Amino acid sequence: MSKRHASEALEDVSGMDSPLSKRSRLGDSVEPSGSPEANEDDDDDDEDDEDDGEEEEDDEGEEEDGDEDFDEMVPAQSIRQAAPTAGYDDLYLDTIDRTVLDFDFEKLCSVTLSNINVYACLVCGKYYQGRGPKSHAYFHALDESHHVFINMRTQKVYVLPEGYEVANKTLDDIKYVSDPRYTKAEVVALDRNPATSWTYGGVREYAPGFVGMNNIKENDYLNVVVQALSHVPPLRNFFLLEDLSSRPELVQRTSILFRKIWNPRAFKAHRFTLSHQSDPVEFLSWFLNNLHLGLGGSKTRPGSSVIQHIFQGKLKVESQAITARADAGDRLRFEEAAEVKADVVRFLLLTLDLPAAPLFQDELEKNIIPQVPLTTILNKYNGVLSQEHRAQRTRYRLLHPLPPYLVFHVKRFSQNKFVSERNPTIPNPAEHPTGEPIWYDLVANVVHEAVRARDDVTETADDKKMWKVQIRDKARDEWVVCQDLFVEKVQAELLFAGETYLQLWERRRTPKPKSKGKAAAK
C-alpha cells in the first residue's frame, strides 16, 4: 500500500483502505516499580546479563520484520549496549561525586529495602535494586540522569540505561573503598611500619586501624568491642586475608568491617554501625561464639576454629557441698573428708571479682576511689582460694598451656531486686613477686564512664553508661583512645586511671623487660 505524500490532499486518498495495525516493538507494558515482576529477572547479576542479551536479540529480530516507517510512528526504546561506543569509554565518568559515597551504610535498595542485587549510584550515593529495563536503578537513571552504578557484590561498574560495563582504571579507588583487599606483605607491615593516610581531598589525616565509629543509637558498647578485637593480630590477619564470601552473614560482615577499619585509602575516617545499647561483655560472648560457629567450629570439639585457637583456655573447677559441721574451723576450706567434684572446662574470657567497695571514707579521704592490684583479683584462679555460692564452695585453677590471648572481664555491676550497683574500684597492674612469671602485654582496655544525665520530666539524675576503648599502636609504640568518632592519643601512665571493664592481653613470645607503654601481668 502506497503512502500519502505530504503534497496530497486528504480528500484524494479518503477512499483508500486503512493500513494494518502494526505490533509494538516495546513488548509488554512496563510494570509499576514496586511490583514483583519489576525485579524478577534482577535477583542475580549473571541472570540479569543473560536477560538483557535475549531482549536485544528480540529487538533486532522485530526490526528486521518491521517496515521502514515503524520508527516514524512509535518512539524507539533505549538500546541496550554490550560495550561503550567507540571513543566514548569514559562517558559520564565526570559526573561521579566521591564526596557523597559512603559504603559503610547498610546496602539496601532505597525503594524496596531489599539487599539482593543492589547497585550504588556513583552520582548521588543512593542504593537501588537491579539494573534491568524494569529495575529501580534503570528508572533512576532515566529520571535523574544519573548514569554510573556499581554492583555492591561484584564491584563491577555499569552505565545505565545503556547497560554496558565500564572498565576504567580511574574507578579502582572506588572499588577498593567499597571492598578493600590486602596482600600478605601489607598485613605483615601493619604493626611494623607506621602509616599515615588522608581522607578524600586531603581533608583529614588518620592512621589506618585507629578510626572512629559512629554512635547512632547508644551502640558505643559494640564499637569498643569491635575496635578491641580488630587489634588482635591473629584474628585481624585472618579476616583481612581469608576469602569468607561463602561463610554466614555475620562472618562476612565482620570481615568487611575489619578490612574497612584498616583501610589506608578510605574516603572518610570513620565507620558506621547501628544498634541498641547493651553490655559489652554480653555482646563479646555472643559475638565470639557465633563467629566460632560461623567459621565451621564445633560445639564439642575444642580448637575447631581460629576463635578458639586465639582465645580458648582450660580451667580446672573443683566444687564441694557445704555441710554444717561443728568441728569445721573454716566453712570455706576444702575438707579432706568431704567429696570433691573436679571438672575441666574451657573458657573464652575470665571474670574477675572486685572486692566490696568501702561504705565510708577514711579519715584522710584516701578511699574516695578504692584501688586493688590486678594480681590480687587474679588469685581467684590460683587453685587455692575458694568462693562460696549458695550451698557450694568452688575454686578454680588455670591450666597450661595458657591461650595466646587472655580476655578479662572486671565484674563491676551487680543487680538485686531493688537497685543496680556499680563498684568503682580500679585494678592496677602489679608484677608477681616470686617465681618465673608468664608475661602478657596489654592490647586493648575497655573503660566505663558514668555520666550524670538529668531527666527534666522527673527532675532526677541518673548515671548514663558510656564506653571508650584504649588500644595500642604497635607500629608507633603509642596508646590511642577511641570514643565513638573521637580518636586521640593517651599516655600509657593513664591507662588504669579509669574504670576498666574489659581487657585483652597478648602473651609475650620471649620474656623481655617491660618497656614504656606496656603493661604486664602473670
Characterize the bridge pairing of strands 157-159 and 164-166. antiparallel
- Do residue 348 and residue 485 come from a single domain? yes
Q: State the Cα–Cα distance between residues 433 and 407, nearest whole angstrom.
A: 23
| Residue after which a domain boundary falls, among 153, 179, 205 | 179
- Do residue 169 and residue 285 come from a single domain? no
| Residue after which a domain boundary falls, among 129, 161, 179 | 179
User: Around Cβ 326, how many Cβ atoms within 10 Å?
Assistant: 4
74 — phi, psi (to 5°)? -120, 130
Counting other chains too, the contacts that 271-274 makes at CB distance below 8 Å and 24 or more residues apart are 271/104, 271/211, 271/212, 271/213, 271/214, 272/102, 272/104, 272/105, 272/213, 272/214, 272/216, 273/213, 273/214, 273/216, 273/219, 273/222, 273/223, 273/226, 274/106, 274/216, 274/217, 274/219
Tell me whether residue 122 is in a domain.
Answer: yes
Would you call 17 helix, strand, or coil by DSSP? Answer: coil
Asked whether the beta carbons of 284 and 502 are under 8 A apart, the reply is yes
Tell me whether residue 244 is in a domain.
Answer: no
Tell me whether residue 484 is in a domain.
Answer: yes
Q: State the Cα–Cα distance between residues 132 and 174, nearest whole angstrom.
A: 23
Domain with 495 in it: 280-521
Tell me whether residue 2 is in a domain.
Answer: no
Q: State the Cα–Cα distance between residues 363 and 370, nearest whole angstrom.
A: 14
Structural domain total, the chain: 2
- Do residue 161 and residue 290 come from a single domain? no
Asked whether the beta carbons of 217 and 275 are under 8 A apart, the reply is yes
Report the greatest alpha carbon distance in the chain: 131
Q: Which of 283, 342, 279, 281 is nearest to 316 (CA)?
A: 342
Asked whether the beta carbons of 453 and 444 are under 8 A apart, the reply is no
Terminal CA-to-CA distance of the chain, rounded, Å?
100
Q: What does the pLDDT read at residue 40?
A: 39
- Do residue 296 and residue 407 come from a single domain? yes
pLDDT by 10s per residue, the chain, length 522: 455 555 555 455 445 454 444 343 444 444 444 433 344 344 444 444 434 433 443 443 333 444 444 344 434 455 688 888 887 888 899 999 998 888 887 889 999 999 899 999 999 999 999 999 889 999 999 999 999 999 999 999 999 999 999 989 999 999 999 999 999 999 999 998 888 888 877 778 888 999 888 887 778 888 899 999 999 999 999 999 999 989 999 999 999 999 999 999 888 765 544 555 678 999 999 999 999 999 999 988 999 999 999 999 999 999 888 766 555 555 545 666 567 788 999 999 999 998 887 666 655 555 567 788 888 999 999 988 888 877 788 899 999 889 999 999 999 887 765 566 777 788 877 655 555 678 999 999 999 888 776 655 555 556 678 899 999 999 999 999 998 888 999 988 888 888 899 999 999 986 555 555 455 554
User: Around Cβ 103, how many Cβ atoms within 10 Å?
Assistant: 21
- Residue in the block written with cell 567459621: 295
- Dig out the grid coordinates for 470 from the structure: 584504649
Q: State the Cα–Cα distance between residues 146 and 143, nearest whole angstrom.
A: 8
| Residue after which a domain boundary falls, among 179, 196, 214 | 179
Please give the C-alpha separations between residue 502 and each of 159, 293, 323, 349, 411, in angstroms, as whole numbers. 49, 23, 36, 10, 9
279 — phi, psi (to 5°)? -95, 130
CATH of the domain at 358: 3.90.70.10
Tell me whether residue 51 is in a domain.
Answer: yes
- Do residue 464 and residue 351 come from a single domain? yes
Q: Which of 402, 424, 408, 397 is nearest to 312 (CA)?
A: 402
Query: DSSP state, 167?
Result: -
Tell me whether residue 123 is in a domain.
Answer: yes
Q: Which of 107, 303, 314, 311 is nearest to 228 (CA)?
A: 311
- Do residue 173 and residue 296 come from a single domain? no
Asked whether the beta carbons of 315 and 399 are under 8 A apart, the reply is yes
Tallying the residues shown for the chain, one arrives at 522
Tell me whether residue 259 is in a domain.
Answer: no
Q: Which of 491, 483, 355 is nearest to 427 (CA)?
A: 355
- Do residue 285 and residue 172 come from a single domain? no
Tell me whether residue 235 is in a domain.
Answer: no
Q: State the Cα–Cα distance between residues 350 and 19, nearest whole angstrom.
A: 87
- Do residue 292 and residue 150 come from a single domain? no
The DSSP element (H or E) to which 119 belongs, if any, is strand 118-121
CATH of the domain at 145: 3.30.40.10
- Dig out the grid coordinates for 224 from the structure: 569498643
- Dig out the grid coordinates for 507 from the structure: 602473651
